[in-house]
Amino acid sequence: MSLNAVTHLNFRGQAREALEFYASVFGGKLNVITYGDFGVPAEAPGSNNVVFGEVIADNGFRVMAYDVPGADQPIANEPTTRREHGTTITEERFFLSVRGETVDEVAPIWDGLADGAMVIEKFGPAQWAPAFGMLADRFGVTWIVDVAV
């Protein structure tokens, strides 16, 4: 078993540029999936924005990033991260991501963090992973908990 915690950066249309920059500085492999790759029509605003991106380097450096959907819309409601019309909306610059190898490995992590938390996306199967969930813990820190594909 192996868990790792990774900083997950949130951008407003600059995720690809930022990830390319970090890859040039730290080395490593760049992985980018766009909203269009997940089925958003090419003509839709933001279809080329990053829905999942990461840089993983052999030296141990790792960072994840995405472009917040609807970034051109003002966000004024509390909490700073929420679900709206099936989309995660946030003003936060980063989340913490905990990824494990199996659902059994990460489920207790989810359960612990969920105590007193505001669940943003319920933990369970996702299109891209065997399990994924997002919550803001009782201290206001937003966590992503998922299983590596």
**pLDDT tens digits, 30-55:** 999 999 998 888 888 888 999 999 99
> Could you give the residue ranges of the DSSP H alpha helices within the chain?
15-26, 103-114
| Alpha-carbon separation of residue 114 from 2, 32, 92, 120, 129 (angstroms) | 21, 29, 19, 10, 20
Q: Decide: 104 and 110 in contact? Cβ < 8 Å.
A: no
Structural domain including 63 reads 4-147
For residue 72, give the CATH number of its domain: 3.10.180.10
**How many domains does one find in the chain?**
1
DSSP code per residue over 76-108: -SSSSEEEETTEEEE--SEEEEEEESSHHHHHH
Q: Decide: 83 and 133 in contact? Cβ < 8 Å.
A: no
- pTM of whole model > 0.75? no
Alpha-carbon dihedral 128, 132, 137, 140, rounded to 10 degrees? 10
pLDDT at 149: 80
pLDDT in tens, 111-145: 999 999 999 899 999 888 899 999 988 877 788 89
